[in-house]
Amino acid sequence: MSQNCTLIPGDGIGPEVARATVRAVEATGTDIKWQLAELNQNIILESGKTLPQHVLDSLNETRVGLKGPVTTPIAGGFQSVNVALRKTLDLFANVRPIRTLPGIKTRFEDVRIDMVIFRENTEDLYSGLEHEIIPDVVTSLKVITRTASERIANYAFQYARKNHRKKVVAIHKANIMKLADGLFLRCCREVAERYPEVEYKELIVDNASMQLVIRPETFDILLLPNLYGDIVSDLAAGLVGGLGIVPGANMGKTHAVFEAVHGSAPDIAGQGKANPTALMLSAVMLLTHIGENAAAAKLQQSIEAVYKEGKNVTGDVGGTASTEEFTDAVVKAVKG
């Protein structure tokens, strides 16, 4: 039975990595019908909407999306597409697996890193509630609710139980923000009591950041509010080789959008230098989500095989291969 999925290539290198990923997924033999929903900076500026109706219509029909990077202006301009998608579709859980890939040289060559970051995706300082009280004095409201905190904690612990993970660490700054982060922690503790087989720990965010760069192999599942989750997940990506090889998923009750979390990199767009690994691994998560577990495992194994061989990896991870050459190697491994 075929599965309809929305494909949002994005802009910059987005269309290149999206084409590569579609090729890799199709090589698995999975019957996916892609609904193309173009969304880039020009479309947003012309329409005056961060999420034009055609994008929402497609996602509301398919309930599953694969998204490349879309450029977001800094300190002005339109709202982040990612933030808009998460709020509009109530994609409350950002899930980012951080795993060592074979053949990539990092500072942790003798250590295997395998952690999953669960970031609350809808509130905190990303609520966007900012106000200039008087000229040059601005407040930005940090919103933490029991509903959102319990929801992300439950999601993380359910994942731990289903995937036989042993430890969840809640990360916070409740020593300073006693009410806001205190509420988040209370919710995590209450949820943890329902999962006695999973070890539960807590770390202050600054200490957690230090521990991550000293002994990353000791982490299993990390559970964080929105802002800390954003920062820590990028920090963790740096431990295994960077954002170009780390996948991401935004999960809700009714919708799921899988995405490469790196930027649109307009400086290398169209040059065949882009690394499609992050979006391909996001497609692995998508395949698992739609029940295509064998195809997901095959694609994951094929990507890792190409990295282990090391002959056809892109420049950002120490190789010389083009986007197409890397993709050809993955497709060959899938079909082989």
- Name the CA dihedral angle for 116, 31, 306, 95, rounded to a multiple of 10 degrees: -10
Q: Which residue intervals of the chain bear CATH 3.40.718.10?
A: 1-95+242-336, 105-240
Rg value, the chain, Cα: 20
Domain 1-95+242-336 has CATH 3.30.390.30: no
pLDDT given at position 74: 47
The pLDDT, as a whole number, for residue 270 is 93
What CATH number does domain 105-240 carry, 3.40.718.10, 3.30.200.20, 3.30.43.10, 1.10.260.40? 3.40.718.10
Distances in Å between the alpha carbon of 119 and those of 7, 85, 106, 194, 232? 24, 15, 25, 20, 9
pTM of the predicted protein model: 0.93
pLDDT at residue 44 in the model: 87
Helix %, strand %, coil % of the chain (to 5)? 45, 20, 35
Residue whose token pair is 């009591």: 193
Strands 256-260 and 247-251: antiparallel
- The predicted structure's pLDDT at residue 93: 97
> How confident is the prediction along the chain (336 residues), in pLDDT tens digits per residue?
789 999 999 999 999 999 999 999 999 999 999 999 999 888 888 888 888 999 999 999 999 999 999 886 544 445 678 888 998 999 999 999 999 999 998 888 788 999 999 999 999 998 888 999 999 999 999 999 999 999 999 999 999 999 999 999 999 999 999 999 999 999 999 999 999 999 999 999 999 999 999 999 999 999 999 999 999 999 999 999 999 999 999 999 999 999 998 989 999 999 999 999 999 999 999 999 999 999 999 999 999 999 999 999 999 999 999 999 999 999 999 998
- Sign, CA dihedral 128-282-36-11, equals positive
